[in-house]
Amino acid sequence: MKIKIDLNGTKEIDVEKGTTALEIFTHLNPQSNRKPIAARFNGSLIDLSLPIEDEGILQYVTFDDEEGKFVYWHSTSHVMAQAVKRLFPDAKLAIGPAISDGFYYDFYTKKTFSPDDMKKIEKEMKKIIKEGQSFERTVISKDEAISLFTEEKENFKLELINELEGDISIYKNAEFVDLCRGPHVPRTSYISAYKLLSISGSYWRGDEKRESLQRIYGVSFETKEELKKHLHKLQEAKERDHRKLGKELGLFSTMGEAGPGLILWHPKGATLRRIIEDYWKDEHLKKGYELVITPHIAKSGLWRTSGHYDYYLENMFTFKINNNEYVIKPMNCPGHILIYKSKIHSYRDLPIRYAELGTVARNELSGVLHGLLRVQEFTQDDAHIFCMEEQIEDEILGVLRFARSIMNTFGFQNLNYELSVRDPDNKDKYAGFDKDWEKAEASLVKALEAEKLDYKRMEGEAVFYGPKIDIQMYDALGRKWQGPTIQFDFNLPGRFDVTYVGKDGNQHNVFIVHRTILGSIERFIGTLIEHYKGDFPVWLSPVQVRIMTITDKSIDYAERVNNTLIPHHFRTEVDKRNEKIDLKVREAEKERIPYMAIIGEREEKENTVSIRERHRKNRGSFSIVDLIEELNEKCKKKT
C-alpha cells in the first residue's frame, strides 16, 4: 500500500507503507553535506529505522541541527556506558543524557575512575564503534522491563521504571541494553571523533542524601577537525573560567567559613559591581522607573499569599522570631506589590514602574553551586510595571528596546530570543483567563516583530502565571548565557487584589509585567568576566590607570599625576615599589590594567607620561591633558 510523504514541505513522494526514513533518504540528495542521523516525522523526532505507517511530513535531522547533536551525543553516551560495563562489569548504570555541549553518564561503582581508566574506556569505545552495532529500539511492558533490569541488577534503572506508566522503551546494541526514549543514530559506526573530557562526583537524582556517583563527561563530532576546534574552544573556556580569573584579579572569593554559595566581594570586585549598579540606576531613572528598596525578610504570611510558601518552600530560608515565622525573601515581587498597594491609584497614575537591586536568598543544593553563576544569595535587578491593558504593548516594546540597549552597551551584540507560551492542550495548568493570555502573548509577539527580531516559539515553556520573552546572550566563544526576561504575571495581581480606579470610577485589575535585564548581578558579572577574559573595557575596569615609577626619584611626580587624574573620577593606582619596571609591567598585564602610565626622569622633565596600553606595545609620550581626554572619550562611549 502506498502512502504520501511530504519531504520538508518541498517535495511529495509515494512510498510503500512501512518504509523506513533511512530507506527514503537513501534515494534522495540530502539538503546538507552531512548525512541524516535521525528524522522528524510530523514534528516528532524518530529513529531512521522506524517504519513509517502514516502519511505526513518527513524531515532530515543532521548534526547541523541542535536536535541532531543531541541524538549524536546521546548515542555516544550509550557507547561509553557499554565500554564501561565491558571493562568494569560491577559498575551500575544511572543516567546518561546529552547536554548542551556533549554528554555524560553517571555510574555507581566502588572503584574510583582515573585518567588511565578514561584512556581504556576510549580504547574500548573505538572497538564498539568499529563493530558497527545497530541501535535497536524495542517497546516492552513495564513488567518485562522490571524483569529485564532485575536480571541485570540495575537498581537505578528499576527505580526509574517503577515511576513510569504504560509500556517502556529500551535500546539494545549487542550485549548492552538501556532504558531510553531515544532516538539514536542507526549504528555505532556513525560515531566518528570523540573524546572523554573529565570525571566528577554527583549524587543520584541530585540529592546529596542519596548514593554518590561518578560522572564521566565527553563530546563527539562527525569529523576530527570539528573535535579539534571544540577542544581548543574548551581550553579557551578553561582560561576564561570566572572562578580562576576572579581569584587572579582579586574580584571575589568563596570561603568555607562563610558557607557554600556565598560570595565575598573584594575591593576590586566591589568596585566593578558598583560601576554596573550605578549605570543600571542611572539608565532606569532616565526611562521613568522609580527605585525602591524592600526588606530582606518578611513574615511567612506574605509568602503564603503570594503562593511561594506552598510551591517553593524547599528553596526558601525560614526562621522564627517571637513565635512568628519569617522568610528571607527569595523574590522581590511581593514587596513591590505592597508598595503599590500602600495607596489608591487611578488610571492617571499608570504606568508605574518600580525597580530594585534586591538581594534574595534561595536554598540551593550544594552540588549545583558554581562560582558566581549559581549561588545561594544574589542580587536581582527586578522591576515591575503596573499598567492598564491598553498600555501593555507600549510597555513591552519599551522594555525590549531597553534590554537590548543595555546588553549592547556591555558588549553583547549577538542575542537569541525565545517566546515561552502555554501548552495549548493543557490550559488548565495555567493561571489567568484565555483573553489575558491571548492579549499578553500578542503584545510580546508584536514587540518582537516591531523590532524585526527572529524568535523561537516555545510551547509549554511558559510558567504557570504568564507568558514571557527570554533573551540569551552569546559571549566571545559563542556560548549562550541567560539574559533579560520579560514576564507577564496573572497570578499575583489576583492573589493580592492589585487594582486601579478607572475613568468610570470603578476598580479594575492591573496588569503586571515582571522583568529583569541583568538578572542576577552575580551571574552577570561571572558572564562578563568570561566574555572579556578579564580584559574589561576601560569604563568597567576596577583600575583604569596604574602609574609606575622607574626609580624612587619619580615618586613625587607620580603622586602629582595621580592627584591630577583623581578629580576626573578615574580609578588609579600608583606602583612606587623599588622593583624593575619590566616586572611592574608584567604584573599590570597579568592584572588586565588597561593603561600603564610609566614615569621616569624624562617624563617628569617634560610633564608627560609614557603610555603602554594593555596587550599592546608602548604608545609613546602623552601629555596629562591628552591622557585625560582619551580616557574620558572611552568612558563616555563605553568602548
Report, as residue numbers or ranges, the catalytic residues: 333, 362, 380, 382, 384, 468, 514
Grid cell for residue 46: 524518530
Secondary structure element (H or E) that encloses residue 361, with its range: strand 352-361
Which strands, in side-by-side order, build the sheet including 176-179?
A: 136-140, 168-173, 176-179
Report the 10 Å Cβ neighbour count for 628. Answer: 16
Report the 10 Å Cβ neighbour count for 402. Answer: 20
Residues 6+ apart with CB under 8 A from 155: 92
d(CA 355, CA 19): 59
Q: What is the DSSP string of 406-469?
A: HHHHTT---EEEEEEE--TT-GGGS-S-HHHHHHHHHHHHHHHHHTT---EEEET-SBTTB-EE
d(CA 97, CA 548): 53
Q: Are 438 and 478 in contact (CB under 8 A)?
A: no
d(CA 256, CA 261): 9
Grid cell for residue 196: 572523554
Sign of CA dihedral 428, 432, 433, 439: negative
Secondary structure element (H or E) that encloses residue 587, with its range: helix 581-590
Q: How many CA atoms lie within 13 A of 542 on its CB side?
A: 21
Tell me if the bond preceding 260 is cis, omega within 30° of 0.
no
Q: Are 358 and 294 in contact (CB under 8 A)?
A: yes
Would you tell me the crossing angle of helices 434-450 and 392-409 to the nearest 10 degrees? Answer: 40
Please report which residue ranges of 37-114 form alpha helices under DSSP H: 66-87
d(CA 167, CA 366): 36
Grid cell for residue 187: 549504528
Q: Name the residue with cell 515553556.
A: 461
Exposure string of 598-613, with b = 16+ CB inside 10 Å and e = fewer, is bbbeebbeeebbbbbe
Q: 231, 237, 244, 638: which is closest to 476 by C-alpha? A: 237
Q: State how far the alpha carbon of 60 is from the alpha carbons of 10, 24, 39, 50, 65, in Å.
A: 12, 10, 5, 14, 9
Sign of CA dihedral 343, 345, 349, 354: positive
Grid cell for residue 439: 492579549
Q: Are 581 and 531 in contact (CB under 8 A)?
A: no
